[in-house]
Chain A
Amino acid sequence: MNEYNINHLRELEAESIYVIREVAAQFENPVMLFSGGKDSIIMFHLARKAFAPAKVPFALMHVDTGHNFPETIEFRDKLMKETGARIIVRYVQDSIDQGKAVEETGFDASRNKLQTVTLLDGLEELQVDCAMGGGRRDEEKARAKERFFSHRDEFGQWDPKNQRPELWNLFNGKKNMGEHFRVFPISNWTEMDVWQYIYLENIDIPKIYFSHEREVFLRHGNLLSVSDFIPMRDTEKVEKRIVRFRTIGDATCTGAVESKAHTLEDIIDEVAATRTTERGTRHDDKRSETAMEDRKKEGYF
């Protein structure tokens, strides 16, 4: 080993910071999508690193389904206060009230798909030309094909068969009026990298990522949290279990896993031993084999 060695986390960090700075330089009005989940938390952490000692030169944007874990929203508001960052919130409920989105019905109803409507409306209204997202290529097979700089047509759609080639570190953010870009600064991170980095940098994350007792019920092999937004079948019964969340999305489709991991060290050990992907706890992806690709084509994150 020579003195110019850097480890994989520092190399990923350097790459992501480079991408985020490239966005600030190439676009007029970018935003960074922020859900309060671990991926958007580290993406925002990297953005702070990219522009220190100045403030992050763009706003964050949260598409709020209204079906949140309360801990996530508390965490979001605290982080914004501490860092002086600006966040724009757009509500799926507003899209529903305006008749632009129609609420799904039935037991498996979710607002996950409706987020796309609220997101695209928000981007258009705010004249956003680039939205950064915390998507990672290791999450899902359609995402594995995604570019760092991903071009979207005037309807916000992704055309996976016709993507621009991306070589070296040369990112082409050129577009016509009305089109925009999605940029994924942490494309090359895996779930393990994210946890290791949170540990290495001592980054604060919402409490529900750690083990806690929760009222849950079993559906489609997932442990869903009991809440007002999820109608339960008569056959489904509430149990108390010791769980944590691997991903935090819409509460209606994010399952918990049984876990005794109380610290980041425990979580890293657990991730190292786990034999299923984190997306396995998201039943939005289980609707069909290419559910993610189909949603992404329409303009999803």
Chain B
Amino acid sequence: MSDKTSGYLDMELLRFTTAGSVDDGKSTLIGRLLYDSKAIFEDQMEAIEISSKKRGDTEVDLALLTDGLRAEREQGITIDVAYRYFATPKRKFIIADTPGHVQYTRNMVTGASTANCALILVDARHGVIEQTLRHSYIANLLQIPHLIVCINKMDLMSYSEETYEGIKNEYQKVADKLNIKDVRFIPISAKFGDNVVDASENMDWYKGETLLNLLETIEIVDDRNHKDARFPVQYVIRPQSDEYHDYRGFAGRVASGVFKPGDKVKVLPSGKETTIKAIDTLNGELDMAFSPQSVTLRLSDEIDTSRGDMIVAADDVPHIEKEFDAMVCWMNERPMIPGGKYTIKHTTNETRCVVRNVNFKVDINSLEERTNDKVIGLNDIACLTFKTAKPLFFDSYNKNRNTGSFILIDEGTNETVAAGMIR
């Protein structure tokens, strides 16, 4: 293998999502990133050239790369989240492209749930608008660790430093108000490629990194919680073969923290204590396991343990409660039924719950908290109080994205109707 390709064997994975109003240039930006990093193949390019011509466009529409469904192509709109992939020698990227004006909140929340980073697009001609506020609020609610504000269409503002600085200052006020920690700014032209992959020749006053550079280098390892050891038991492994007669392994994915053989742990809900005997994989035992690894834990003592239980550090346990408050994004056409019962899925655990109270609803445009509006419908964000049939083991979402998140399922239709973040 050549040196160039062997480098591809050791890359980090970064997941990002895009946010911006219609026509801010999200699709163009993604197309530009893919095109300039040579992730668009000839047959894909040919296919979209043909489609563009068929529709009578003079220029190739890079948006067609992400709009894959027949209805999307026919109507020229984006219905659903699409995933795109590209890699540079430093990182592999997964893009959740989350357009669609109608169901914007729902789509953005979906894309944001797994993202390490969000690109917030601002049209340089319009500056920070109500929508920008809304997108930043959602990005922050979902605790995306890094925000990159791309001030786009700089070509239409004569690449003016003053424009850029003005918008940057304006946005910084929003960031302060929302208590957003890591936010960076880049002046770009998605259409002409300035500061996307290559540094702009039109904006020599900008001394910062290009967008791709930033995406390649933003530190993401420390965003994961490596402190609070949490292991939701997913599946119990019992080989039933002579060789492994007494083997009982607890398979799962480390939600947070680090586990090592010899560590004192507690099994919830029983609360019984034991130690980690070994961490198994097909390729042998490991001397530690951390998020996001999938492993199998063996315990030193026989403790009755099954799916939905959680193995945690003995001296650092999560909340064990049947009642809690959560911020919820409603994702279904059928509104929430006041006092209604839903199935709640949290880590590998599942139980029934009832909505006890609507504490407030967020006016997504002004960000005001409304306490008098109790009707929760599609795309609404609200703070609700839940009561569950059995205790859940959780941390606040701000501390732990994996043990602080849940979904609600309608028991009649089986649909996923809401996404929740425990306060």
Contacts and interface: CB of A to CB of B under 8 A. Distances in A.
A222 B292 CA distance: 41
Interface in B81-127: 81-85, 87, 91-92, 94, 106, 109-110, 113-114
B83 A144 contact: yes
B13 A11 contact: yes
Interface string A200-230: 1000000000000000000000000000000
B12 interface: yes
A235 interface: no
A106 interface: no
Contact of A145 (B42, B81, B253, B331): B81
Interface stretch (A70-78, A110-118, A121-129, A163-171): A163-171
Most buried by B among A25, A55, A274: A25
Q: Which among B91, B222, B253 has the highest number of chain A CB atoms within 10 Å?
A: B253
B300 interface: no
A262 interface: no
A164 B81 contact: no
Interface in B33-54: 41-44, 47, 51
Given A160-B69, A163-B80, A167-B113, A172 B401 contact: no
B405 A161 contact: no
Interface string A173-197: 0111000000000011010110010
A7 interface: yes
B290 A174 contact: no
Given A54-B237, A164-B416, A174 B85 contact: no
A276 B73 contact: no
A170 B347 CA distance: 7
A21 B247 contact: no
A105 B101 CA distance: 45
B348 interface: yes
B43 A24 contact: no
A192 B13 CA distance: 14
B253 A25 contact: no
B85 A137 contact: yes
A43 to B, nearest CB: 14
Given A52-B280, A167-B407, A174 B414 contact: yes
Interface stretch (A31-39, A244-252, A264-272): A264-272
A280 B45 CA distance: 12
Interface stretch (A12-20, A61-69, A87-95, A96-104): A12-20
Interface in B272-294: 280-283, 290-294
A145 B68 contact: yes
Interface in A139-175: 140-142, 144-145, 160-161, 163-170, 172, 174-175
A268 to B, nearest CB: 5
B292 A14 contact: yes
B366 interface: no
B251 interface: yes
Contacts of A142: 68-69
Contacts of B222: 2
Interface in A39-70: 48-55
A192 B251 contact: no
Contact of B239 (A15, A21, A55, A141): A55
B264 interface: no
A53 B8 contact: no
A284 interface: no
A9 B294 contact: no
A186 B181 CA distance: 33
A155 B241 CA distance: 39
A48 B251 CA distance: 13
B11 interface: yes
Contact of B110 (A9, A25, A165): A165
Contacts of B23: none
B63 to A, nearest CB: 12
A287 interface: no
A279 B292 CA distance: 31
A275 B4 CA distance: 17
A168 B404 CA distance: 11
B224 interface: yes
Contact of A4 (B238, B258, B331): B258
Nearest to B255: A169
Contact of A7 (B12, B70, B83, B85): B12
Contacts of B41: 274-277, 280
Nearest to B307: A25
A167 B109 contact: yes
B406 interface: yes
A12 B94 CA distance: 11
B341 interface: no
Contacts of A266: 1
Contacts of B65: 141
A275 B38 CA distance: 9
Given A167-B113, A176-B414, A293 B68 contact: yes
A266 B345 CA distance: 45
B359 interface: no
Interface string A272-301: 101111011000000001100110000000
A163 B81 CA distance: 10
A124 B348 CA distance: 28
B225 to A, nearest CB: 10
B68 A167 contact: no
Contact of B113 (A49, A137, A138, A168): A168
B347 to A, nearest CB: 8
B158 interface: no
A104 to B, nearest CB: 23
A271 B222 CA distance: 32
7 contacts: A137-B85, A165-B106, A172-B416, A199-B9, A269-B5, A274-B41, A280-B41
The 8 tightest CB contacts between A and B, nearest first, are A141-B68, A265-B1, A54-B239, A52-B282, A174-B414, A17-B294, A8-B13, A167-B113
Given A4-B258, A21-B234, A279-B43, 13 more contacts: A9-B9, A17-B253, A21-B252, A24-B235, A52-B237, A52-B280, A141-B65, A144-B83, A145-B80, A172-B345, A274-B41, A280-B43, A290-B69
